[in-house]
Amino acid sequence: MDQPSQTLRWQRWQIVMIASIIFGLGTVLAFSTLAVKKNISPAEMPAAFAKQVILYDWENDIPWSVLNAFTQEFGIEVIYKTFDSLTEAVESVKSGNVYDLMVIDNERVPELIEQNLLTPIDYSNVANMRNISANFRDLAYDPHNKHSVPFNWGTTGLLVRTDLIEKPITSWSDLWRDDLKGKIGIRNDERELLAVTLKSLGFSINTEDPKELELAEQRLFELRDCVVLMDSYAEGAMPLLLGGSIAVMIGYAEDFLLAEDAEEPIEYVFPQEGSLLWGDNFVIPASSLNKTTAELFLNYLLRPQVAAQIVNENHYANANEAASSFIAPEIIDNTVIFPVVKDLINAEVFLPLSEQGRALYSTIWTKFLGEALVLAP
Amino acid sequence: MKQQTAYSIKRRLWAFLCLILSLTFLFISLGVYSFTAAGEKAVWAERQDEAAKAASEVIEQFVGRVNGALHTLGYLSEDHVNELQELPAYLIEDYPFLLEIVRLNKKGTVSQGAHRDNPVLSSLFTIPQANWFREAKQGKAYISDVLVSSQGTPYMIMSEPADNNNVVAARFRMDILWKIVDELRFGEGGITFVVDQSGRIIAHPDRTRVLQNTSVALREEFVLAKNSANFTWSGSYVNLQGDNVIGTVRPIPGTNWLLIAELQRREALARSHAALVFLSVAGGLFGLIAMLIITRLSQHFVFGPIGRLQEASQSIGQGDLETQIPVVARNEIGQVALAFNDMVIRLRDREEQITQNASLKAELKERERTQAELQKAKEAAEKANLAKSEFLSRMSHELRTPLNATLGFAQLLERDTQFPLEARQEKRVVQILKAGKHLLGLINEILDISRIEAGKLTLSLEPVQVSTIVFETLELVSPLAEKAGITLKTDIPSGIFVIADNQRLKQVLLNLLTNAIKYNQAGGNVRLYCEAHEETKLRLYVKDTGHGIPNEKMRDLFQPFNRLGAEETNIEGVGIGLALSKHLMDAMNGTLNVSSVKGEGSTFWATFPLTTAATPFSNNSESPKDKKTPLTSGVHTFLYIEDNLSNLTVMEDVFEEQPKIQLLTALQGRRGLELAQQHPIDIIILDLHLPDLSGKEVLQQLKKQPCTAGIPVVVLSADATESQINTLMTLGAHSYLTKPLDVDNLLHTLNTLMEVRL
């Protein structure tokens, strides 16, 4: 007969019982440690990029060398779609065409924002925003740069055939001189000549003050028989100046570059009342299917070297301050392209007008075009 | 062997205890944890809130100081501006966080300004379009986003309207603000940071967050705070760094910024966690120890004793009655053990008793076995006896048929009136008849015994007058007595009736008397007398004066074929008379007894039930004594259907002496039926054993036909079985006579029939 085995010997079930208690304890401890374990933040997750990005811009605005480099680096193909006019660009966006990154001028930005056609830019993906000059940050057309990043900019001044005029031209007011009658080339732009008129009167180019506009209208009409309406493209307008049929024309700094190498003595004048400043911006249309990819692309374009390469190839001034040291010296030192601050005193940026303002401007301009048109030969 | 019980109470109890204990500790641990965690959280939330409040005050103060600088410059009237051109420079000196401070006229032209590093605000050509100028010009205070210069220097611009539509603006460093948030740390991993109203981070201990324009705009804590009434919110979430934190969001007065203070949840709940871990470990250990103690205690006090009880009961169950359970304690189990021990002692006593009885038992068993054997032997004997009876029955039956012829012809010879026998011949015929009858008697007796033994004997019990029977019997034995020189004395009064079978009683009596004569001494006597016994019975005594029967032989007296040594004498006999008599008496509800005194003789007495009433049938006992009874009536035609030629010859001889009887014979049943229809038959004598039809069928045919139905049929057969007789009588036979043929009896029957018919 078995001697009482129950006394002091471990039995299997007892071991099982103790093991289960230890297991339970372990579970509680594991639970308590798990509770404080780090979770992976969604912010640290790599973003998924699209295979391609659609750029919508003026033709040749961004060189292919830059775009190909992007494709090479990120494996993202760039589809470059172009527009011929800002009106076309806006209409295209409005009609719902899909673009990931678009270039548009200052004036059109508020309109697009208002119509919810733009996506706010997440600057945590666009750290290169810091490269943008303070001059172009947080301007009136887009508070806090919520929807746009400044890109190219430039001045509108006067291109002058110094050999064809008797007295030097230094201001917008000189256009009203009698000796220049019929020798002034202008473009068909609703705001440009009116802005010049306003500037000559010492008013803001963005004014909506009816009194100021009335004065400006009167002064504008004084130019009725004195101006020659040119092609909007520099390539079309420049022959007039080079040919000598006009002695002075309202033009962009880059237009001057076309004439720089010409034999005729042509000068670019920053009028004393202040130049007109234009600016282009990168925006992300709401139609973009991959905003993150668009932001990646934008951030790439804002790299100092990339921005500098664009400048080096296209010769437009860039809002990218950090790019300066990478821009070819002949370009950065060209004061027509990159004016010295002295020349920009009183310079003014075109800002969007209100509805009424726009109507007012439009009426004046139509009236002006209807009454006096001296077309280029 | 110890049994492993699958559902032992012990295991269940301990499993239950373990479960309860584990659950208890689990609940206690979790409960304590949740309580301390809640408390800790509350404390932290309060501390955090206070700290955040303090921090926001600090930031407010900072912003206030920037504002102060702007106010100082802005309060100047336009006239004083030119006079106090040095003021901005002083301000830059006084306020280390100021990078630049400017005053602008309404057109955006800088009228006054100073800067620490390089001019930014004063060098801009887009001032009129810049929001900081435009907002202030429209009379609003302006704070920019965090702006990062291309050199990576973060700064902010703050502006406000100044006297005479002028604008004052300051560009200031972020380091101070960052320093402030750097110092606002909760615990080791906690952070505090500032976001603007759009969710962009303005100040953060991790500066890259600011430099990379990180925004919390879409994060839960920001959205919830933005949506709450006063931009205040607190709760737990996973922060930007992916840490589990407890955060507080509150607005910074004087700005549209929000302060977010975060505390690592792990730190916040460190003590709760510690408590949980401690409780779990301590609880687990305590549980283990408690379980061990409970296990040991219950083993010692409960399950051990129960186990011993179990083992003891098992060993007792296996027959070991020497087992005693050690009684350790006087508790309940001890009491059970005591009771158990007591029970074992009683069991042991009981066992001893049983052992003593065992021999008796064995004997009993042996007896039972013997009995069974006896029973078997008895059955075998009975079977053998039955076989013997069967054999005897057949033998006697087979013997009777030739004897029938012998006796029949002897009788014919004796009765031949035409050619009467000479005296010598007659004497010899008489010897033949005598011997034949003796043989017949013996055969009949053997048959009787076998019938009795087979239980097939049928008796017709009826009141019988004793004196008549005695008279008839004495008549039969008197010649024998005379011859032996024995005197017969009877003393039987008439009018005494007993219940018995007439014939069988006579047979018994004849037997007793014959024995009494045969085994008597020369010149002895036989006395026949009777006396009532117990009022309802009659004893009929036959007392002889023979040699008597020795006591030792008394037992074998009634055994068949046991002649008690008489076989060595010249006294005739086969030794079945007494056996048959005894059987017959038993069958007639009587008894046959004997008492004997050696040398003086024996007394046999038969005991019968007494009765008082005589019956009409008592006349039946009258036997035809007239040997030569003639059939007196006129000419009659008898039909005898019989296949046995010797029997036919006997019958023809019988009727040859009766001139008025015409006997027709048929050897086959069908022939007999034909004859019965063709001739006017008075009586048909029918044998049962026929070659074509059985006698039974013939009888049925006869009874079916109207012309023959009325003819009385006398069956004459060697088959004397009761059932056969009954069957045929039921079918309509008038009488049933058995072979060997008793001519007198036949004639008597026929005569009676004829009388009835006439």
Nearest Cα of chain B lies from the Cα of A190 at a distance, in angstroms, of: 21
- Each residue of A250-277: pLDDT tens digit? 988 888 887 777 788 888 999 999 899 9
State the Cα–Cα distance between residues B388 and B381, nearest whole angstrom.
10
Checking DSSP bridges between strand B244-251 and strand B461-465, what pairing results, if any? unpaired
CA distances (Å), origin B559, targets A69, B375, B499: 146, 21, 26
- Each residue of B724-749: pLDDT tens digit? 888 888 888 888 887 777 777 888 88
State the Cα–Cα distance between residues A97 and A91, nearest whole angstrom.
9
- Each residue of B660-672: pLDDT tens digit? 788 888 888 888 8
DSSP B683-714: EEEE-S--SSS-HHHHHHHHHHSHHHHTS-EE
CA gyration radius for chain A?
31
State the Cα–Cα distance between residues B742 and B698, nearest whole angstrom.
23
- Helix B9-74 / helix A12-35 crossing angle, nearest 10 deg: 10
Three-class DSSP labels, B500-520: EEHHHHHHHHHHHHHHHHHCC
User: A with B: how many residue pairs have Cβ under 8 Å apart?
Assistant: 151
- Contact state of A41 with B147 under an 8 Å Cβ cutoff: no
Mean pLDDT of A272-283: 91
Mean pLDDT of A366-370: 84
Mean pLDDT of A62-80: 93
Confidence band for A62, pLDDT divided at 50, 70 and 90: very high
Q: Which residues, 6+ apart, have CB-to-CB distance to A160 below 8 Å? A: A168, A169, A247, A248, A266, A267, A268, A269
Three-class DSSP labels, chain A: CCCCCCCCCCCHHHHHHHHHHHHHHHHHHHHHHHHCCCCCCHHHCCCCCCCEEEEEEECCCCCHHHHHHHHHHHCCEEEEEEECCHHHHHHHHHCCCCCCEEEEECCHHHHHHHCCCECCCCCCCCHHHHHECHHHCCECCCHHHCCEEEEEEEEEEEEEEHHHCCCCCCCHHHHHCHHHCCCEEEECCCCHHHHHHHHHHCCCCCCCCHHHHHHHHHHHHCCCCCEEEECCCHHHHHHHHHHCCCCEEEEEHHHHHHHHCCCCCEEEECCCCCCEEEEEEEECECCCCCHHHHHHHHHHHCCHHHHHHHHHHHCCEECEHHHHHHCCHHHHCCCCCCCCHHHHCCCEECCCCCHHHHHHHHHHHHHHHHHCCCECC
- Contact state of B125 with A135 under an 8 Å Cβ cutoff: yes
Residue in chain B lying closest to A348 (CA)? B126
Cα–Cα–Cα angle for A104, A105, A109, rounded to 5 degrees:
75
The shortest CB-CB distance from B131 to any of A39, A135, A139 is to: A139
Q: Which pLDDT score, from 0 to 100, does residue A372 have? A: 55
The shortest CB-CB distance from A124 to any of B149, B212, B308 is to: B212
- Contact state of A135 with B124 under an 8 Å Cβ cutoff: yes
CA distances (Å), origin A276, targets A209, A258, A273: 19, 20, 10
Question: E strand or H helix at B640, and its extent?
Answer: strand B636-641
- Each residue of B416-439: pLDDT tens digit? 777 788 888 888 888 888 888 778
Mean pLDDT of B614-637: 46
CA A95 from centroid of its chain's CA atoms = 21
- Each residue of B160-172: pLDDT tens digit? 998 888 899 999 8
Among A53, A58, A52, which residue's Cα sits nearest to residue A89? A58
State the Cα–Cα distance between residues B118 and A134, nearest whole angstrom.
13
Residue in chain B lying closest to A120 (CA)? B198
Q: Which pLDDT score, from 0 to 100, does residue B619 have? A: 36
Confidence band for B407, pLDDT divided at 50, 70 and 90: confident
Is the model's pLDDT at A1 over the cut of 50? Answer: no
Residue in chain B lying closest to A347 (CA)? B125
- Each residue of A301-353: pLDDT tens digit? 999 999 999 999 988 999 998 999 999 998 899 888 899 888 888 888 888 88
Q: Which pLDDT score, from 0 to 100, does residue A35 have? A: 53
Q: Which pLDDT score, from 0 to 100, does residue B574 have? A: 67
Three-class DSSP labels, B667-690: CCHHHHHHHHHHCCCCEEEECCCC
- Contact state of B276 with A28 under an 8 Å Cβ cutoff: yes
- Each residue of A13-55: pLDDT tens digit? 667 767 777 777 677 667 656 554 444 444 444 457 888 999 9
Q: Which pLDDT score, from 0 to 100, does residue B756 have? A: 62
Nearest Cα of chain A lies from the Cα of B41 at a distance, in angstroms, of: 14
Is the model's pLDDT at B527 over the cut of 70? Answer: yes
- Contact state of A134 with B149 under an 8 Å Cβ cutoff: yes
Question: In B, which residues are within 8 Å of A348 by CB distance?
Answer: 128-129
Q: Which pLDDT score, from 0 to 100, does residue A299 have? A: 94
**Average pLDDT of chain B, as a whole number:** 81
Of the ranges A146-160, A258-272, B120-134, B567-581, which is most confident?
A146-160
**Who wins on pLDDT, B283 or A5?**
B283
Checking DSSP bridges between strand B735-738 and strand B683-686, what pairing results, if any? unpaired
Question: In A, which residues are within 8 Å of B315 by CB distance?
Answer: 1
Checking DSSP bridges between strand A248-252 and strand A184-187, what pairing results, if any? parallel
- Contact state of B284 with A6 under an 8 Å Cβ cutoff: no
State the Cα–Cα distance between residues B283 and B290, nearest whole angstrom.
10
In one-letter notation, the amino acid at residue B701 is Q
Question: In B, which residues are within 8 Å of A130 by CB distance?
Answer: 148-150, 152, 211
Residue in chain A lying closest to B301 (CA)? A7
Is the model's pLDDT at A149 over the cut of 90? Answer: yes
- Contact state of A21 with B149 under an 8 Å Cβ cutoff: no
Of the ranges B373-377, B613-617, B625-629, B677-681, which is most confident?
B373-377
Q: Which pLDDT score, from 0 to 100, does residue B622 have? A: 38
- Pick the range with the lowest mean pLDDT from A41-45, B481-485, B699-703: A41-45
Q: Which pLDDT score, from 0 to 100, does residue A288 have? A: 92
Is the model's pLDDT at B6 over the cut of 70? Answer: no
- Contact state of A341 with B123 under an 8 Å Cβ cutoff: yes
Is the model's pLDDT at B400 over the cut of 80? Answer: no
Three-class DSSP labels, A359-374: HHHHHHHHHHHHHCCC
CA distances (Å), origin B556, targets B147, B244, B449, B553, B563: 152, 123, 16, 6, 9
DSSP B274-307: HHHHHHHHHHHHHHHHHHHHHHHHHIIIIIHHHH
Q: Which pLDDT score, from 0 to 100, does residue A13 have? A: 66
Q: Which residues, 6+ apart, have CB-to-CB distance to A375 below 8 Å? A: A228, A229
Confidence band for B1, pLDDT divided at 50, 70 and 90: very low
Question: In B, which residues are within 8 Å of A35 by CB distance?
Answer: 244, 273
- Each residue of A152-166: pLDDT tens digit? 999 999 999 988 888
A3, A14, A21, A341: best to mutate for the B interface, most B CBs within 10 A: A21
* Cβ atoms within 10 Å, residue B324: 12
Nearest Cα of chain A lies from the Cα of B272 at a distance, in angstroms, of: 10
Asked if B713 contacts B734 with a C-beta cutoff of 8 angstroms, the reply is yes
Among B731, B650, B171, B224, which residue's Cα sits nearest to residue B410? B650
Determine if residue B108 is left, alpha or beta; phi over 0 gives left, psi from -120 to 50 gives alpha, anything else beta. Answer: left
- ipTM field: 0.82
Nearest Cα of chain A lies from the Cα of B379 at a distance, in angstroms, of: 54
Q: Which residues, 6+ apart, have CB-to-CB distance to A287 below 8 Å? A: A93, A96, A97, A98, A99, A117
* Cβ atoms within 10 Å, residue A79: 13
Mean pLDDT of A221-247: 81
Q: Which pLDDT score, from 0 to 100, does residue A345 have? A: 83
**Who wins on pLDDT, B350 or B575?**
B350
- Contact state of A345 with B125 under an 8 Å Cβ cutoff: yes
Question: In B, which residues are within 8 Å of A28 by CB distance?
Answer: 26, 29, 276, 280
Asked if B190 contacts B263 with a C-beta cutoff of 8 angstroms, the reply is yes
Q: Which residues, 6+ apart, have CB-to-CB distance to B109 below 8 Å? A: B127
Confidence band for B612, pLDDT divided at 50, 70 and 90: low
- Contact state of A134 with B280 under an 8 Å Cβ cutoff: no
Confidence band for B386, pLDDT divided at 50, 70 and 90: confident
Nearest Cα of chain A lies from the Cα of B373 at a distance, in angstroms, of: 46
Is the link from the previous residue into B326 a cis peptide, with omega within 30 of 0? no
Question: In B, which residues are within 8 Å of A326 by CB distance?
Answer: none
- Each residue of B56-69: pLDDT tens digit? 888 888 888 888 88
Confidence band for A74, pLDDT divided at 50, 70 and 90: very high
Checking DSSP bridges between strand A348-349 and strand A227-230, what pairing results, if any? unpaired
- Contact state of B128 with A348 under an 8 Å Cβ cutoff: yes
